[in-house]
Structure 1
Amino acid sequence: MWYEEAVFYQVFPLGFCDGLRDNDGVMNRCISEFADWIPHLQKLGTDAVYFSPIFESDYHGYDTRDYRVIDKRIGTNKNFAELVSKLHEAGIKVVIDGVFNHVGRGFFAFKDVCEKKWDSAYKDWFNISFDGNSPYNDGFWYEGWEGYYNLVKLNLNNQDVVNYLIESVRGWVNEFDIDGIRLDVAYCLNRDFMKRLRYETDQMKQEFFLVGEMLHGDYNTIVGDECLHSATNYECYKGLYSSFNSMNMFEIAHSIERQFGKEPWCLYTGKHLLTFVDNHDVSRIASTLTNKAHLPLIYALMFGMPGIPCIYYGSEWGCEAVKGSGNDNILRPAFDKPEYNELTDTISSLGQMYHNSRALSYGDYTKKVLTNRQYVFKREADGEKVLVAINADENEYTAYFDTECADALNLITGKKEELSGKIVLPSYSFRFYRCM
């Protein structure tokens, strides 16, 4: 599958197009302008763009009004289809958000229920009681996602709802030629619905990719041969930044070994989870890390560990933003153009390196050296051995261990180096070595 070797890049279209406001139908900037970023994506080694919500919604994209029309604040169906075509011409796949758990109050079926009450043909599309009332004084009670009544929960046990959503997805494939879907709040979704979606999309397009949002719990509950291909690895997201902030590499090492260590006790052998250091729902990593010298190191660790690395737009040059109370717009800004600095160059080097190593995509994991401030592990696949070494300390560190080779190729510099049982790590540094 293509996603197993991919570097992802996430964009929040409503933010990118400066459209995060109550939907007034006015476009400040067209999503087609994102095509200007293609050279930047190529520099980063991007294989796939994940677009957060793009369909007509009440406000932030996760409150869908119409699953079949691109939000007017970012453009038209034609605009998005043309953008996907340009990305495909550049060899870049496209994954979009599928918000199937809930809709906005502006969704046509819910508006019909508000108008006709128990006489509505769509009353069973939602979880409704006509014996109560809602905070909007609708004259009936309905289930809102996690108590948010602007997010009306769909009844995925209703086959009419499921069929409507499947046909919407079919339209996305036919009209836009998308390559995958990220399922919002997949941990809430009916498992039968996800299995049906997997079956249908397998028929629609070869190697169609499904990844589910999972905040906690066992990812195996949604990832498998009959369900989704992948899940968001929030366990390692927390372990990544926390390990650097607390100077305790044992935390992320524990998570990685629990997930991908030696069988039989590890959880996700052979699976490819989506790995990230930040996204549209959490503070920017440049604001989360207490020591800015750790920024390149956390990206190096993300690219070195098992998983599918995903970069959130703007974070590659160190954009800062702290998640606020009830308003995430600050995390989803409009940028005029990409910026370049030392961090951008580092991530670009990591992205290009990633494609030249099957071990980093498919390799098993073996811990070699672990201290509070240093972490060295091996990835190995198809006879290729890659050593990943991180030094989060302000002082130089020499890691002594069985390197399994005397000579190695530095995958970042392309130069041959002698190891002979040790790796010398300058302060705040990382190394990727392929054994020769």
Structure 2
Amino acid sequence: MAWYDETNFYHIYPLGLCGAPKENKYDGIEHNIRKLDPWIDHVKDLGCNGIYIGPLFESVGHGYETTDYKKLDSRLGDNDDLKAFVKKCHDKDIKVVFDGVFNHTGRDFFAFKDLKANRENSRYKDWYCNVNFWGNNEYNDGFSYDNWGGYNLLVKLNQWNGEVRDYICDVIRFWVKEFDIDGIRLDAADVLDFEFMKCLRNLANEVKEDFWLMGEVIHGDYTRWVNNDTLHAVTNYVMHKALYSGHNDHNYFEIAHTQKRLNDMAQNNPLRLRLYNFVDNHDVERIYNKLNNKAHLILVHILLYTLPGVPSIYYGSEFAIEGKKERGSDDSLRPALNLDDFKDYINTNELTKSIKKLGEARKQSKALNYGFYRELLLTNRQYAYARTLNADSQYYNGVPEDEKKYENAIVTLNNDDNPATLNVPADGFEKYKGVLSGKEIVANSGNLCINLEANSGDVWLPII
């Protein structure tokens, strides 16, 4: 197994968190990334052992219109600053994953600037898709081209071009050598060429042991992207939607049905379909704003940490901060934060404390990382499932029979405004302890009788 199978991620959008200027004037270096230093200890205290951070490299605005792939955005600092940040994370046993924006570049990227200057005579004209010298655009370039999302600010790279592939591979080798990163999250992976991703997977196998490739994919059969030839994992957007709407509608059937679809894709093997689970990120509104009943915040995070996949906390959401899209802008989703404003939350805020406990539980329980998912009970307002690690798990491939250990975790949830009692099988264990409540329960005739308060849940681990 690999490090990323047992990782709790913390997601940082650095231009926002560090309070960097919205526009890069390319007129000097501001060492804003150093503001992240105290956050490293916070990430560790929260129970996270991986950081996904990005975009990082020189750009003109929000970071996804790359100007230079080998230079830290000057609004954040210089390459020595970034190198120091990664080393500080590694010194705390925290892995670091960069954002890889390889589907498109910005208009200030050297190849596009050459294309504007030399048009048909540019040696880089084939680096971009469908360049049409009989067309035009809002920039009055005198030519048109493919872009991402309808934005001509984001110029679509030609991933079928051998020089482009070689260039991107060189960039990744540089990131590993220069910054010692542990993986890459591929931006817009759902529109990347599959042969290009195969090339990146071969490179990942070359540059570093267990180098992780995770792709941003919205919908579809995730196994198209996650397999032995392309990516290790994808973003779990289908579960992201179910987590908040299933609570807003008091409909645990939606969440359970979504998990069943994912199970079918994975053939009920979490290691066949690795997923990156999240409740919010830099592109979607904060979970606090999406939930009608704020008491469901802890329930959503219990699911985040216990369903198959690895969990990710987007910076600030552990404090239940707000963030809504406003007038077509994502700025409020990506705020500057001062950690001192939240310094006591890990001890006093119920959500922050619960996330910390859930992170510790995933480190304690192999079943929560590798276990098969099995539904135990389901109504609109109550839901229970088990994560079970047994001898059939891929986790135990090659392990002698006498070293295989049966492990189990049981998750119980109640989204109703009234208490509920759930009866579920004890799965061979006599006693369990609640991760969040600290309560101990004893099986009776092979079953557990679990009393849940209104809008509450818990994760039950066996006492052995």
> Could you tell me the TM-score, scaled by structure 1's length?
0.96
Partner residue, 1:397: 420
Whether contact under 8 Å (1:181, 1:210) holds in the other structure is: yes
Check conservation: 2:31, 2:78, Cα contact below 8 A.
Answer: no
CA shift digits 1:216-259 (9 cap, x unpaired): 11111111111110000000000100100111000010011121
Structure 1 residues 261-292: Cα deviation after superposition (integer angstroms, max 9, x where no partner): 6985x696632200000000000000110101
Q: Gapped runs of 5+ residues in structure 2?
A: 391-405
Answering whether residue 261 of structure 2 is matched by residue 258 of structure 1, we say yes
* Farther off after superposition, 137-146 or 183-192: 137-146
Identify which range, 234-243 or 341-350, moves more after superposition: 341-350
Aligned-pair Cα RMSD in Å: 1.6
Alignment of 1:98-247 (within 5 A): 98-127=100-129, 128-247=131-250
Select between 394-403 and 315-324 the one with higher mean Cα deviation.
394-403
* Aligned residue number for residue 399 of structure 2: none
CA contact (8 A) 1:368 1:377 kept: yes
* Percent identical: 44
Counting only pairs closer than 5 Å after superposition, residues 200-349 of structure 1 correspond to structure 2 as 200-260=203-263, 270-337=272-339, 339=342, 340=345, 341-349=349-357
For residues 334 and 347 of structure 1, what CA distance do their matches in structure 2 show? Answer: 22
Local SS of the residue matching 1:45 = coil
Of 24, 46, 71, which residue of structure 1 is paired with 2:48?
46
Aligned equivalents of 1:32, 1:304: Cα separation in 2: 33
Q: Which residue identity is paired with 1:343?
A: L
Closer/same/farther in 2, CA of residues 29 and 320 from structure 1, 3 Å limit:
farther
State the Cα deviation string for residues 84-123 of structure 1 (Å, max 9, x = none).
0000000000001000000111111101111111111111
Q: Is the Cα–Cα contact under 8 Å of residues 57 and 63 in structure 1 kept in the other structure?
A: yes
1:273 aligned counterpart, secondary structure = strand
Aligned to 1:9: 10
Give the 3-state SS of the residue equivalent to 1:355 in structure 2: helix
Q: 1:379 aligns with which of 387, 405, 419?
A: 387
Instruction: Tell me how far apart the structure 2 counterparts of residues 248 and 222 of structure 1 sit (CA, whole Å).
Output: 29
Determine which of 420, 423, 431 is the counterpart of 2:450.
Answer: 423
Identify which range, 229-238 or 424-433, moves more after superposition: 424-433
2: distance between equivalents of 1:221 and 1:324? 34
CA spacing shift, 1:269–1:36, aligned 2, 3 Å: closer
Closer, same or farther: CA 20–277 of 1 in aligned 2, 3 Å: farther
Point out where structure 1 has 5 or more consecutive residues left out of the alignment: none
TM-score by length of 2: 0.91
Residue 23 (str. 1) matches residue 24 (str. 2): yes
Q: Could you give the per-residue CA deviations for residues 396-425 of structure 1, whole angstroms, max 9, x where no partner exists?
A: 100123233442122345553224332111
Distance 2:424 2:172 in 1: 51
SS in 1 for 2:86: helix
Equivalent pair of 1:17/1:28 in contact (CA under 8 Å): no
4+ long deviations beyond 6 Å: none
Q: Deviations over 1:344-399 (max 9, x none)?
A: 11111111111100000000011011111111000001411110001111111001
Q: 1:20–1:329: 8 Å Cα contact kept in structure 2?
A: no
Of 412-421 and 32-41, deviating more is 412-421
| Equivalent position amino acid for 1:399 in 2 | L
Counterpart in the other structure of 1:410: 434
In structure 1, give the amino acid aligned to 2:286: R
1:359 matched to which residue of 2?
367
AA aligned opposite 1:409: K
Equivalent residue of 1:206, what SS? coil
Equivalent residues of 2:20, 2:32 under 8 A apart: no
Provide the rounded CA distance (Å) in 2 between the counterparts of 1:350 and 1:9.
14
Amino acid across the alignment from 1:218: D
Cα drift, residue 342 of structure 1: 2.0
SS at 1:142 equivalent: coil
Contact 2:266 2:273 in 1 (8 A): no
Matched position secondary structure for 1:254: helix
Q: Secondary structure at the match of 1:9?
A: strand
Aligned-pair CA distance for 1:430: 1.1
CA contact (8 A) 1:9 1:50 kept: yes
What one-letter code is carried by the residue in structure 1 that aligns with 2:105? Answer: V
